[in-house]
Structure 1
Amino acid sequence: MTELHEYTALELHQLLQRRDVSPVELAEHFLGRIARLDGAIGAFATVTPEAAIARARHVEEHVPTAAPLWGMPLADKDLHRRAGVPARFGSRAFTDFVPDDSDELVRAVDAAGAVSLGKSATPEFGLPSYTEGLAGPPTRNPWDPSLGAGGSSGGAAAAVASGMLPFAPGSDGGGSIRIPAAACGLVGVKPSRGRVPAGSGLASLAGLGVAGPIARNVADAALLLDGMIAPAGYPAAHRFALRAPGDDGPYLGTAIRGEGRFQVGVMTDSPWDEAYEIALDEDARSAFDRAITVFDGLGHGVEAMAPEPEPGYPAAFRTIWQAGAATIPVDGEAEAFLEPLTRWLLERGRAVPARRLAEALEWLSGFEERVIRRFAPFDAVMTPALALTPPPVGWYDQQDGERNFAQQVQFTPFTSFVNVAGLPAVTVPVEETRAGVPMGVQLIGRPGGEATLFSLAAQLERRVRRGHRHPPNW
């Protein structure tokens, strides 16, 4: 007999719609999974079983079944406030903080009919690309618990990969959805800047941070993205004058059909190449080459792109990354509770001169234009998802900020520039290494080009037969 966590999210949604299972039954099943498994994984910062069951009953009795995420379990990333639930932001400085109101993204998934089971783990203030902070146990990779799950949406990815959730929302300011999704063998979607009203990126520094889904297959990711964009149905109610152009969705049908032939550019250069020693390991190259073979065999136009160095990128992005830490709401004696990397970033960020920040923002705006112009001949551009296999827990230097930054760049050089350019991207698992760890690729679309990405990702997923794979022993 198939257990509920073995179904895809779309299949669970269909079971709910047919009333073959109730929101309460579904919540109870996944809460049971969390109770049994999370001690070995560390995917959750907080679990809220009583509130989850109460919410599931409310959904059953009062929320219309037409709500796009009706009865579906998920977890809020612990960077997002939910009224009455501890919000620790991955930091010891916020151990006792319980907000009185909820963030917009939390309200959006509620409006879509979802049932939150708690808060997924994140590193301190979501700054690093790994989830191994001091506020809780490290988040481990379900494919190999000696390895990290990536970050900053590492808890969300680990929970989905191990079957503790069917899917989960995350946030991505430099790769924080795509990195853990790729590390844990999942599909992670970073939408276009402006696409998700409750996580548009338009109000963040340099427009970097957006909200998107993490799921075990392409259709499940589309289902969650549809619910995040427009809880009450399309068209989405955007509140900014600027928003992503292109197809507004919904995307689920596109992801299921996976149709079309496209021009796909392929590249392995990154804007970090001039400043750091970037090298693809054998497993990353193997997954990338296999995806090229698949797309070529499906009849897509596949063309290698010549490198275009961007020597100004590392300094400009570092300035923004550090300046973003300047707004961390911790001052005075409370700074002693911050981790060494966060303190280093905060000190550097608060020392950034206004002129240097303005120059970095201007430079990155020009970079965005150049990237979009470079990618314009293609419907999508493919890179490796990660340059290295997921490193072991404890691999990152927690004391030396400069070395830590270099390690993060060498692990994941292909993600941050997509945030700067505001483009949509999706990571798709392709194959497993000899050690049994998934490796995948990243597909980057045109502004507002999510539909094309879902079509390409679905075709790749069908051919490599990796949709909805569970790690062994979970």
Structure 2
Amino acid sequence: MAELHDLDAHDQSAALRSREVSAVELVQHHLDRIDAHDAALGAFITVTHERALARAADADARLADKDTTPPFLGVPTAFKDLTSTAGVTTTMGSALLRDQVPDLDAHLVTLVEAAGFVSLGKTNTPEFGLSSYTDNDVVGPARTPWDPTRNAGGSSGGAAVAVAARLLPLAPGSDGGGSIRIPASACGVFGFKPSRGRVSSGPDGSDWAGLAVSGPITRTVRDAAALLDAMAVPMPGDVRPLPAPPEPFTSWVGRDPGPLRIARWSGTHLPGVEPSSEAVTAWESASRLLESLGHDVVDVPNPFPRELETQFNLIWPSSVAAAPVAAEAEQLLRPNTRYWRQRGLQTSAVELSRAMTYLEQTTRTVVTDLGPFDAMLTPTLALPPQHVEWFNESGDPVEDHRRELLFTPYTGLYNMSGQPAASLPLHWTAGDTPLPVGVMLATHPGRDDLLFALCAQVEAASPWLRRPHAA
């Protein structure tokens, strides 16, 4: 058998059921890897050693009783530190909440644990998940294991690092402007943002803006499909619930998607923001691969208008502005968090309503105009992973935001439109320290199933599993 940490979640589950390894041994193996590697990588904010081993022991007892109902009984995972976990510190990446311990689990946590997964703790995230890089005043930056001098991307940076470095086989993340796909690209793993409404934010979260959704970060497409199958169960009262898919997403992995018509563009919707040569090379290579698989890849201009960025920046900071932060505690927030909080506080209800209406109307037109196409292809990011220092908060939040736009001009568009989108780790830069460069595939709203079929086809044609230097 391969090293335990090199197995994906499906193979780890198979090893547990065949009793090649116990859940306690499997969880301890991953905890040991966290202890050995995480200080250099910053994947975790909190590691729950005793709790994880106790739950692994429970899993072993159930496996001994031939309880095979939960499909991933005893397989390790961890939750992003924005996700409420009862009895486990949940900082949301903020020194202000360093000691916060929720009383209840997010619905996502309940569902993932019901599938048998054992959580090893909470993964690193920027303060309130606001940035496209992961750094905070709790544990500091998350670093891509391909080159730990470079940031892992955000805001699910810790989750992507943990999966890439084989500290976990998979992990849930959340994505409000690219926060699954950005770190997936920077860490060389597979990241899948589901359609709007696919995963509930309950019981205490809210999908009022329609931008954020939770989804899987994995090393294989089949693991991502299985994790989304576990997560995609609505709660009563969800504002935008999608009906349950007629078939599990895992049933689409390995299914021939048929010849598809795929629109592609590499230009951004932002003046002065252009993709790097590495991003274009990855995109061109992916285009050739898709054509070799029988798909019709068609050049189109970027269909999203530049004004979306202005309207997005009225909506995005409103959530942090609504956070109940006492005036005397404001100084505990990072400077850029205070900046976005103030922007949100200055936005009127009328401005917010107009911005949300503009996003809905505009992206509805875009999706309609893309109707002749089955899927879309772009770079995931405009730049490869950037040095940790490049994202240090400079004291000029406008400049810091400009750098984020230079880094990630593509991903947030699909949050605005509600389309499912995935980052595939198909390309690495040349040189002594190769860096991962993802490409992004998307489909129409609600067609997560087709996207899984297409991504699995690409994975089979060009397998991407590699081990980074730091792992």
**What secondary structure sits across from 1:141 in the alignment?**
coil
Quote the residue 2:266 is aligned against. 268
CA distance in 2, matches of 1:187, 1:238: 30
CA distance in 2, matches of 1:205, 1:241: 8
Quote the residue 2:406 is aligned against. 410
Quote the residue 1:391 is aligned against. 386
Quote the residue 2:443 is aligned against. 445
Quote the residue 2:364 is aligned against. 369
* Distance verdict in 2 for CA 1:49–1:307, change over 3 Å: closer
1:431 aligns with 2:427: yes
CA distance in 1, matches of 2:355, 2:364: 14
1:422 aligns with 2:425: no
Question: Cα deviation per residue 1:91-133 (whole Å; 9 max; x = unaligned)?
Answer: 1101121222222211121122110000000000100010111
Choose which of 217, 222, 228 in structure 2 pairs with 1:225. 228
Quote the residue 2:55 is aligned against. 55
Quote the residue 2:172 is aligned against. 169
Are 1:424 and 1:449, in contact at CA under 8 Å, matched by a contact in 2? yes
1:13 aligns with 2:42: no
Quote the residue 2:156 is aligned against. 153
Are 2:74 and 2:118, in contact at CA under 8 Å, matched by a contact in 1? yes
| Range moving further from structure 2, 323-332 or 344-353 | 323-332
CA distance in 2, matches of 1:303, 1:278: 22
> Residue 20 of structure 1: CA displacement?
2.4
1:355 aligns with 2:355: no
Instruction: Give the length in aligned residue pairs.
Output: 465
Which ranges in structure 1 are unaligned for 5 or more consecutive residues? 231-235
1:243 aligns with 2:241: yes
> Residue 473 of structure 1: CA displacement?
4.3
Are 2:207 and 2:239, in contact at CA under 8 Å, matched by a contact in 1? no
CA distance in 1, matches of 2:172, 2:247: 18
CA distance in 1, matches of 2:203, 2:469: 36
1:288 aligns with 2:291: no
Quote the residue 2:35 is aligned against. 35
| Range moving further from structure 2, 323-332 or 81-90 | 323-332
Question: Cα deviation per residue 1:196-215 (whole Å; 9 max; x = unaligned)?
Answer: 23579993232011010000
Are 2:185 and 2:437, in contact at CA under 8 Å, matched by a contact in 1? yes
Quote the residue 1:233 is aligned against. none
CA distance in 1, matches of 2:235, 2:400: 40
* Distance verdict in 2 for CA 1:248–1:177, change over 3 Å: farther
**What secondary structure sits across from 2:438 in the alignment?**
strand
Matches within 5 A, 1:61-80: 61-62=61-62, 64-80=67-83
Question: Cα deviation per residue 1:48-78 (whole Å; 9 max; x = unaligned)?
Answer: 0100011112233358422133211000100
Which amino acid in 2 is paired with 1:227?
A
> Residue 159 of structure 1: CA displacement?
0.5
CA distance in 1, matches of 2:244, 2:375: 14
Are 1:193 and 1:200, in contact at CA under 8 Å, matched by a contact in 2? no
Are 1:71 and 1:114, in contact at CA under 8 Å, matched by a contact in 2? yes
* Distance verdict in 2 for CA 1:408–1:473, change over 3 Å: closer
Identity of aligned residues (%): 42
CA distance in 2, matches of 1:283, 1:469: 19
> Residue 329 of structure 1: CA displacement?
2.8
Matches within 5 A, 1:93-242: 93-198=96-201, 203-230=206-233, 239-240=237-238, 242=240
Are 1:172 and 1:209, in contact at CA under 8 Å, matched by a contact in 2? yes
Quote the residue 1:23 is aligned against. 23
* Distance verdict in 2 for CA 1:342–1:317, change over 3 Å: same
